[in-house]
């Protein structure tokens, strides 16, 4: 069915709550019924794809970042470090230099510019990466510790782990964080295809346009899935038609789907129509990725 | 003048619809601030006229003055973000990868690297169709939503409220639990938590409430799509009781919610009679609790 | 005693700025000689990140005995201020500095 070497599909959306996680989890479980698939939850601030599977944990490791650690015995309180830090993560409080790990971007400037080598870089835990397995489905997530703001390194690490651990699995899905800021860019930048999930409302259209602009910057092929179809209006359809953006599928609006989601259930197992839709998305997605980057 | 901030922890709970409804109900007595700058959608319902616009700069970005560059490569050596690439001996900084740490400029022997403020987007002051005014912003692609932009939008809204003698500033808060939310909450008199009875709804509600508690701000909770899952609904009610958070209202799962948005209206003006009543009663409650 | 306020202006009639990190001014009242002085904090206000710690460093340099503010410092800033012995009093928003000072003298402000 899938004949390309390996394909990575990022599932993204301009705003939260459009059904990104619903699509990622259902697609992954659906594909896993016939072949191996990797699902990586890259919404590291709030990963909740895992709520939809009963999977066995197979691996866990700590995610780290480098931060400076003050060595009082070497420090002369010259203040170079506090001026070198653009993020105010290293400040001087009276006779002490205090480091705020969550604010640190790991740029190394304070550490390497310190004339006394009094701020060596050390590893600091930022969260946990976990891998789970259920049948053919390999599910990987990273969860940032509360207060930790550096999502991008955790996303990069999770992608790297997925690729290195499962080089032979042909299909990898990314559940991306919402929005158009740095974390999203890190999540989609090296995907073969981006699926943008939206709703047929003015909100959906507005956020879709922003997401399309973002994806176009990287020249990644993309398609749209319109969720909750039947409610709202036709503007998203018209926009996709005008811009020649392929609409991969339209998932109908239904209270039943909302109920299944609220209970953490996979919808395609309860609603047969969704199976066909997932099959359609997958086939179209694979056809598009054959075209490659523009 | 009192400040009311609406937050939800995650997207898609109806936070923006609720905020816009209160903005509509408050009319000219309200200044509206859209601090959900990642997905700034409220303007679609309130029809702002963009009376005043200003560029917004946030953080720094480095760039290389090629005429001064001696091509020693020190900058690329120290950059931890792989933002500096070299091609045919020419060093360049990729703006989408640059974190603005400024380390490269500190080590450049030729002083060829300049740090400039990063153009992150625009912010606007508008008249809106409710008779009130609105402060809103739009971020550029790849720009990080920062506490600074949120603080700016809120600050302008506050000043405007004083000038216009408005009673309330209503803020559509940022999603998540990071720096922008902290900035949204800072200075608030009352917080409205919007949630939904789903497996992740309560979890996200708890996380964002942790922050609200830390700032000692009073809060109340609206449960949207309240009737889709009785079990989760009860779990939320239990949490509210434990934390002594007033339950402001339930809103039913209702197609009118989307229908209102589609016609560019707020739910409070074109939702079903039931929705309108619930929202009006809720707004009165919020005003009483905001002291 | 030295009392510091986060303020939106520089006089006794100015309002308390409820924000800590991005407060407009830091106003200091020295009870010993009755003088009111202020520090413009607007450069910090314009920082994209780390406004809280940057302001904390300034407060630290002033080293007041008491700090009166609105919502209270965020996580990072309060960690920083814990390095000192100053008393932090919160919930003074909507008061002028004068009102806040009077409330403080009556012991009516909450400790952070």
ipTM of the shown complex: 0.84
Number of structural domains chain B divides into: 2
Contact assignment for C71 to B185 by CB distance below 8 Å: yes
Q: Which tokens in the block code for residue C34? A: 């009755």
A53 in Cβ contact with B49 (< 8 Å): no
The reply to whether B277 falls in a domain is yes
pLDDT of residue A152: 87
Whether B62 shows a pLDDT value over 90: the answer reads yes
Q: Percentage of chain B surpassing pLDDT 90?
A: 65
pLDDT of residue B150: 86
Whether A291 shows a pLDDT value over 90: the answer reads no
Indicate the range of A58-62, B33-37, C6-10 predicted with least confidence. Answer: B33-37
Based on the domain organization, do B165 and B94 belong to the same domain?
A: no
Residue B83, domain CATH:
3.30.70.20
Name subunits touching B (3+ CB pairs < 8 A).
A, C
pLDDT of residue B187: 81
CB within 8 Å of chain C, chain A residues 89-108 = 89, 91-94, 96, 98, 100, 102-103
CATH topology of domain A70-119: Alpha-Beta Plaits (3.30.70)
Domain interval for residue B21? 2-47+128-289
Map out the domains of chain C with their CATH numbers.
2-111 (3.30.420.130)
Based on the domain organization, do B273 and B139 belong to the same domain?
A: yes
Contact assignment for B179 to C70 by CB distance below 8 Å: no
Q: Which pLDDT band holds residue A1 (cuts at 50, 70, 90)?
A: very low
pLDDT of residue B26: 95
Based on the domain organization, do B192 and B276 belong to the same domain?
A: yes
Closest residue on chain C to A83 (Cα): C54
C16 in Cβ contact with C98 (< 8 Å): no
Based on the domain organization, do B188 and B250 belong to the same domain?
A: yes
Based on the domain organization, do B150 and B274 belong to the same domain?
A: yes
pLDDT digits (tens, 9 = 90+) for B198-217: 988 898 899 889 889 888 88
Residue B223, domain CATH:
3.40.50.300
pLDDT digits (tens, 9 = 90+) for B147-180: 778 888 998 999 899 899 999 999 999 877 777 7
Mean of pLDDT values over B65-78: 96
The reply to whether B275 falls in a domain is yes
Dihedral pair phi/psi, residue B122, rounded to 5°: -135, 150
Size of chain B, expressed as the number of residues it contains = 291
Whether B60 shows a pLDDT value over 80: the answer reads yes
**B7-11, B253-257, C59-63, C95-99: range with highest mean pLDDT:** C95-99
* Partner residue opposite B58 with nearest CB, options C48, C90, C91: C48
Calculate the alpha carbon distances from A259 to A15, A262, B190, B252 in Å. 21, 5, 31, 13
CB within 8 Å of chain A, chain B residues 135-174 = 139, 141-145
Q: What's chain A's average pLDDT?
A: 91
Name subunits touching A (3+ CB pairs < 8 A).
B, C
The reply to whether B188 falls in a domain is yes
Chain A hits for C57, Cβ within 8 Å: 82, 88, 91-93
A234 in contact with B, Cβ within 8 Å: no
Structural class in CATH, domain A7-64+126-290: alpha beta
Based on the domain organization, do B74 and B10 belong to the same domain?
A: no
Based on the domain organization, do B73 and B8 belong to the same domain?
A: no
Based on the domain organization, do B208 and B181 belong to the same domain?
A: yes
* Partner residue opposite B225 with nearest CB, options A178, A179, A258: A258
Q: Where are the domains of chain A?
A: 7-64+126-290, 70-119
Q: What's chain B's average pLDDT?
A: 91
Q: C15: which residues sit within 8 A by CB, 6+ positions away?
A: C7, C8, C9, C93, C94, C95, C96, C97
- Show which of B119, B147, B163 is a domain's final residue: B119
Mean of pLDDT values over C44-72: 86
- Show which of B72, B100, B119 is a domain's final residue: B119
The reply to whether B196 falls in a domain is yes
Q: How, if at all, do strands B133-139 and B113-127 pair?
A: antiparallel
**Exposure of A54 by Cβ count < 10 A (0-12 exposed, 13-18 middle, 19+ buried)?**
exposed
Based on the domain organization, do B101 and B33 belong to the same domain?
A: no
pLDDT digits (tens, 9 = 90+) for C13-24: 999 998 898 899
The reply to whether B54 falls in a domain is no
Q: Which tokens in the block code for residue A21? A: 């996680």
Buried b (16+ CB within 10 A) or exposed e, A260-287: bbbebbbbbeebeebeebbeebbebbbe
How far apart (Å, rounded) are the C-alpha atoms in residues B96 and B31? 34
Mean of pLDDT values over B109-121: 90
pLDDT digits (tens, 9 = 90+) for B222-262: 999 999 999 999 999 999 999 999 999 999 998 888 889 89
Based on the domain organization, do B134 and B42 belong to the same domain?
A: yes
Based on the domain organization, do B181 and B154 belong to the same domain?
A: yes
How far apart (Å, rounded) are the C-alpha atoms in residues A175 and A167? 19
Based on the domain organization, do B91 and B133 belong to the same domain?
A: no
């Amino acid at each position: 069915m899938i004949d390309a070497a390996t394909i990575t599909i990022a599932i993204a959306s301009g705003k939260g709550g459009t059904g990104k996680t619903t699509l990622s989890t259902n697609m992954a479980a659906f594909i896993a019924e016939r072949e191996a698939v990797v699902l990586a939850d890259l919404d590291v601030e709030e990963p909740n794809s895992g709520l939809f599977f009963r999977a066995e944990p197979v691996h866990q490791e700590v995610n780290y970042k480098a931060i400076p650690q003050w060595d009082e015995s070497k420090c002369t309180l010259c203040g170079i470090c506090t001026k070198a830090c653009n993020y105010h993560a290293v400040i001087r409080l009276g006779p002490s230099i205090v480091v705020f790990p969550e604010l640190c971007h790991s740029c190394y400037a304070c550490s390497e510019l310190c004339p006394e080598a009094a701020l060596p870089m050390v590893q600091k835990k930022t969260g946990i990466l976990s891998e789970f397995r259920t049948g053919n489905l390999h599910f990987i997530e990273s969860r940032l510790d509360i207060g930790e703001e550096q999502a991008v390194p955790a996303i990069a690490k999770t992608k790297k782990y997925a690729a290195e651990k499962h080089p032979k699995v042909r299909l990898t899905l990314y559940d991306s964080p919402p929005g158009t800021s740095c974390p999203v860019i890190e999540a989609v930048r090296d995907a073969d295809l981006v699926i943008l999930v939206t709703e047929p409302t003015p909100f959906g259209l507005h956020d879709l346009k922003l997401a399309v602009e973002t994806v176009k910057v990287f020249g990644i092929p993309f398609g749209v899935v319109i969720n909750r179809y039947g409610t709202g209006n036709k503007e998203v359809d018209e926009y996709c038609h005008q811009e020649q953006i392929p609409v991969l599928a339209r998932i109908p609006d239904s209270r039943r789907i909302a109920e299944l989601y609220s209970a953490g259930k996979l919808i395609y197992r309860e609603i047969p129509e969704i199976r066909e839709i997932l099959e359609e998305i997958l086939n179209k997605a694979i056809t598009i990725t054959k075209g490659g980057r523009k | 003048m009192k400040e009311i901030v609406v937050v939800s922890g995650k997207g898609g709970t109806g936070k923006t619809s609720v905020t816009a409804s209160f903005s509509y109900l408050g009319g000219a007595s309200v200044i509206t601030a859209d601090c959900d700058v990642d997905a700034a959608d409220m303007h679609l319902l309130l029809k702002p006229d963009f009376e005043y616009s200003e560029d917004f700069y946030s953080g720094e970005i480095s760039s290389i003055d090629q005429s001064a560059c001696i091509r020693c490569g020190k900058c690329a050596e120290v950059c931890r973000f792989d933002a500096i690439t070299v091609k045919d001996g020419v060093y360049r900084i990729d703006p989408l990868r640059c974190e603005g740490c400024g380390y490269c400029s500190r080590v450049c022997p030729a002083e060829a690297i300049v740090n400039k403020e990063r153009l992150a987007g625009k912010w606007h002051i508008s008249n809106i169709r409710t008779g009130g005014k609105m402060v809103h912003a739009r971020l550029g692609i790849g720009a990080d939503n920062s506490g600074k932009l949120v603080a700016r939008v809120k600050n302008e809204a506050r000043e405007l409220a004083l000038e216009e003698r408005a009673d309330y500033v209503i803020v559509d808060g940022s999603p998540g639990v990071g720096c922008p939310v902290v900035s949204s909450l800072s200075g608030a008199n009352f917080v409205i938590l919007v949630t939904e009875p789903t497996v992740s709804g309560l979890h996200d509600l708890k996380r964002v409430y942790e922050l609200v508690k830390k700032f000692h701000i009073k809060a109340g909770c609206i449960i949207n799509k309240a009737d889709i899952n009785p079990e989760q609904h009860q779990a939320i009610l239990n949490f509210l009781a434990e934390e002594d958070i007033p339950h402001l209202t339930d809103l039913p799962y209702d197609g009118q919610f989307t229908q209102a948005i589609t016609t560019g209206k707020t739910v409070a003006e074109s939702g079903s009679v039931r929705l309108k009543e619930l929202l009006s009663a809720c707004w009165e409650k919020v005003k009483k609790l905001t002291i | 005693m030295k009392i510091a306020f986060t303020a939106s202006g520089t006089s006794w009639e100015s309002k308390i700025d409820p924000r800590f990190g991005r407060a407009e001014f830091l106003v200091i009242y020295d009870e010993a000689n009755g003088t009111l002085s202020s520090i413009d904090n607007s450069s910090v206000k314009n920082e994209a990140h780390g406004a809280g710690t940057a302001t904390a460093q300034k407060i630290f340099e002033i080293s007041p005995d008491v700090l009166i503010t609105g919502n209270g410092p965020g996580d990072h800033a309060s960690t920083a201020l814990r390095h000192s012995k100053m008393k932090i009093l919160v919930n003074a928003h909507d008061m002028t500095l004068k009102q806040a000072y009077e409330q403080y003298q009556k012991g009516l402000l909450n400790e952070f």
